[in-house]
Amino acid sequence: MGLSWEKRYNLVKIEIKGLSFSYSSHKILEDVNLAVHDSEIVSLVGPNGSGKTTLIKCIDRILRPKGCIFLDGRDIESLSRQEIARAIGYVPQSSTSSLSTTVFDTVLMGRKPHISWQVSDADLDKVAGILELLHLEDLAMRDFSQLSGGQRQKVLIARALAQEPAVLLLDEPTSNLDMRHQLEVMEIVRDMVHEKKISAVMAIHDLNLASRFSDKLAMLVKGKIYAKGHLGLLLSAENMAAVFGIEAMVMNVSGRPYIVPIRSFNGASNAKMALSSELNNPLLV
Ligand SMILES: Nc1ncnc2c1ncn2[C@@H]1O[C@H](COP(=O)(O)OP(=O)(O)O)[C@@H](O)[C@H]1O
Ligand SMILES: [Mg+2]
């Protein structure tokens, strides 16, 4: 079956052209080119320190890179802070906030770019709706600073969703969550992206979650895009070796690649010994 009309004609939401960034003299990102369309989740994957967080911060204009970033065809340098705040929702890798605010008020902060004089009933309803969607309603009056890492992560995602942005930037949104919450959060993000035709750029370490929930991948190595495009081509044993330095098997689960890591190339020859018997396990091949 061919692609639907919407799928074929999705518009470019974010276009990154020739982006480079350095911390003082230390080059972190080099000549990054990437396009993200409407209704698309693009996952940034790559080893620790490859520049995923830096790239996300450049898109949110927390950092000021060289090169261009266009949002709906407009150079983000020409947008006001308020326009950026309305258009882009950012979920940081972690929050060490010790501010004493309730979960409800933290999520309500997501509405701030839309509030002109005072909070409306519609804003309060939106926040209540998002808390319900993420099953956070029982935590609504709890202090954000007293939550567990996973609960905080869900609240920060709720705050970004309450913002109703055109672009969601998610920096390792599932790193503190147990499996059920990982799936729950990813299902909600995927449904929002597709229903509201927004775009998401997500840094993520879990390649199998990335495979299951992304439309495309960009692989970063030492600040450069090593490969980008569709999952089936990128999640190969060759790329696992070249990008992550691991031997891996790639299986097919429900039509998507599923990575089974076997051993690291740096590491223990003992591990190789221990796993050689598993490699002969017929269940794995
Ligand atoms: N504030 C900073 N000052 C200097 N170097 C930094 C800073 N933040 C990150 N870096 C460096 O930039 C590189 C990329 O980091 P980062 O974007 O956080 O990678 P990732 O998110 O892929 O793990 C790393 O080498 C890191 O040490
Ligand atoms: Mg990071």
| Cα atoms in the Cβ-side hemisphere of radius 13 Å centred on 128 | 6
B/e letters for 145-177, b = 16+ CB within 10 Å, e = fewer, are: eebeebbbbbbbbbbbbbbbbbbbbbbbbbbbb
Ligand 1 within 6 A of 50 CB? Answer: yes
Q: Supply the pLDDT for residue 94.
A: 76
Q: Supply the pLDDT for residue 9.
A: 61
Query: Residues whose CB is under 5 A from ligand 2 (ion)?
Result: 52-53
Ligand 1 within 6 A of 49 CB? Answer: yes
Evaluated on CA atoms 65, 67, 73, 76, the torsion sign reads positive
Domain boundaries, the chain: 5-235, 236-285
CA of 134 to the centre of ligand 1 (A): 31
Q: Supply the pLDDT for residue 268.
A: 52
CATH class of 5-235: alpha beta
Q: Supply the pLDDT for residue 267.
A: 63
CA of 155 to the centre of ligand 2 (A): 19
Q: Work out the burial of residue 237: count CB atoms within 10 Å of its CB; fewer than 13 is exposed, 13-18 middle, 19 or more buried.
A: middle
Ligand 1 within 6 A of 87 CB? Answer: no
Mutate to test the pocket of ligand 1, among 28, 94, 169, 220 (most ligand atoms within 8 A of CB): 28
Q: Are the C-beta atoms of residues 256 and 231 closer than 8 Å to each other?
A: yes
CA of 205 to the centre of ligand 2 (A): 9
Q: Tens-digit pLDDT profile for the chain (285 aa)? A: 445 544 556 789 999 999 999 999 999 999 999 999 999 999 999 999 999 999 999 999 999 999 999 999 999 999 998 899 999 999 998 777 767 899 999 999 999 888 877 889 999 999 999 999 999 999 999 999 999 989 999 999 999 999 999 999 999 999 989 999 999 999 999 999 999 899 999 999 999 999 999 999 999 999 999 999 999 999 999 999 999 999 999 999 999 999 999 999 976 554 454 455 445 444 443
Q: Supply the pLDDT for residue 95.
A: 73
Q: Supply the pLDDT for residue 26.
A: 95
Q: Supply the pLDDT for residue 59.
A: 96
* Nearest ligand atom owner, CA of 171: 2
Q: Supply the pLDDT for residue 1.
A: 44
Q: Supply the pLDDT for residue 214.
A: 97
